[in-house]
Amino acid sequence: MAFCGDGIVRSGGEAEACDDGNREDQDGCTSACLIARCGDGIQRADLQPGEEGYEACDDGNEHLNDHCLNDCSLARCGDGEIWVGREECDDGNRIDTDECTNLCQVERCGDGQLREGVELCDDGNREDHDACTNDCQPARCGDGILRLDLAEDDDGFELCDDGNRSDHDDCLNNCQEAVCGDGVVRRDLDADEFGFESCDDGNGSNDDGCLVTCQPARCGDGFVHVGAEQCDEGDNNGGALCRADCTLNWRPPAVGLERCDGRIDGDCWRVCRADANSAWIAANSRGTYDAHRACQSVGYARASSRGGTCGTVCGYCGNIGREHYDGGGGDLSRLRLTVHWRCERN
């Protein structure tokens, strides 16, 4: 009696597509005498990779989202089909910087892969205080995130970052903490709060309208406001030198005044600069001078410094504001080879 597996291919009513005479189900002819095909649910085992008809798998379905594709090849990342449960995406290419990585995971900020056109950086961590923030944007002063990965002398170091563009609060626009003397007036504090500033000119000078304490200059603060006050002795105003309104009881000598009083020998000397506190006197290196007597003759108490050479000033008022007292020759009561000295009021 003829049967499937007898090695004879039947025709007619019970025709067989094939009959190889064995019960092996994984060759070219199944045990049901049907020609093996991809999708029949039986994986062929009689062929090597590369041979026509070779199957790496055969799950008998037409689904493209499981481990076995419809061409009986194993699903893999990069085949263009999403393996449900194993792959988040599969775009079929080997580009690692697009929306789907080469591991078939959806590209996301923080995966360490830079997505061009979308991310400017991606350092692969969840640290928000380094050079690349958690939204994959380069850290910058003003982003509201304080960098903690830099030393104080590194470029980009931040002491603060309040994320706003106001330069008048406790954090400047360069991400440095506001301090009195930085040249920016704080406006976020009331007058009775610590750190309040009425002014801030950033120059470190107490002789203008804004003191180094960031408070406005006033008569009685102990600092002479140039152009507005003649003197200011603070709590001692109203005395012999300075009136209560910061005007002088005593007037300093006129600039350019020449005198011979107080000299021992040599040429006369000249007043080059004078104010309520001090004066600069220029002389000639050919003479010998009693600097104390010269200072006292124009209303100062004493000479305090001396020096210079003939090549520096030599009897005339040069280098005003850049005096250099190098000691000179002799002492203050008998100066020789000295071209200038300083007079002090106190």
| 322 band by pLDDT with thresholds 50, 70 and 90 | low
Q: Are 151 and 143 in contact (CB under 8 A)?
A: no
Please check the confidence at residue 314 and state whether its pLDDT lies above 90.
no
Q: What integer is the mean pLDDT of 2-17?
A: 87
Lowest mean pLDDT among 151-165, 180-194, 242-256: 242-256
Q: What is the pLDDT of residue 270?
A: 84
Residue-wise pLDDT tens digits, 106-115: 988 998 989 8
Q: What is the pLDDT of residue 290?
A: 81
Please check the confidence at residue 315 and state whether its pLDDT lies above 70.
no
Please check the confidence at residue 139 and state whether its pLDDT lies above 90.
yes
Please check the confidence at residue 69 and state whether its pLDDT lies above 70.
yes
Please check the confidence at residue 76 and state whether its pLDDT lies above 90.
yes
Q: What is the pLDDT of residue 318?
A: 62
23 against 145, higher pLDDT: 145
Average pLDDT, the chain: 87
Q: What is the pLDDT of residue 311?
A: 46
Please check the confidence at residue 251 and state whether its pLDDT lies above 90.
no
Please check the confidence at residue 103 and state whether its pLDDT lies above 50.
yes
Please check the confidence at residue 156 and state whether its pLDDT lies above 50.
yes
